[in-house]
Amino acid sequence: MISIKRNNRGSEILTTPIIIAIGIMLVSSLIVLAVKILSPYIWYEKISATCLKYVFVMEEYGYLTNKEKSKLEKELLNQGFDSKYLRIDYTNKKQKYGSPIFLKISYNYKLELPLSDETFIPMVVSKESVSKI
């Protein structure tokens, strides 16, 4: 009996690149999604570090001066924060030595995920200390 051997190499040549392309697209989509989900944490850490930096400045002066407040706002804007979602509450009058001072930065982070509506994540960083002057 003679067996007929079929050659299916043509279908392999066509389907392999298609499967690889679909796999690359899926992995790329998952990486982009993971970065978008983790970015609010990164933004929160930026706010926290900046807030801590300016609390040390407040300790030195006993409050947040107008000059330092404008520097704080400028620094946050340079880091990429949107001014319409940013709010800063602080001790605005000079305090005596040992009196409490505070700095509170609030930001609504706009999370944009594919196939979903805009979602805002509220971020609030509040630092307290005492006046050192």
**pLDDT at position 66, please?**
94
The domain locations on the chain are: 43-130
Confidence of residue 115 (pLDDT cuts 50, 70, 90): confident
Share of the chain above pLDDT 90, in %: 75
Work out the mean pLDDT of the chain and round it to a whole number. Answer: 91
Q: Structure tokens of 40?
A: 């609010």
Q: Is the pLDDT of residue 104 over 80?
A: yes
SS3 112: coil
Share of the chain above pLDDT 70, in %: 92
**pLDDT at position 8, please?**
62
Residue 3: CB atoms within 10 Å: 5
**Whole-angstrom distance, CA of residue 133 vs CA of residue 61:** 7
**Whole-angstrom distance, CA of residue 76 vs CA of residue 70:** 10
**pLDDT at position 10, please?**
63
Greater model confidence, 6 or 66? 66
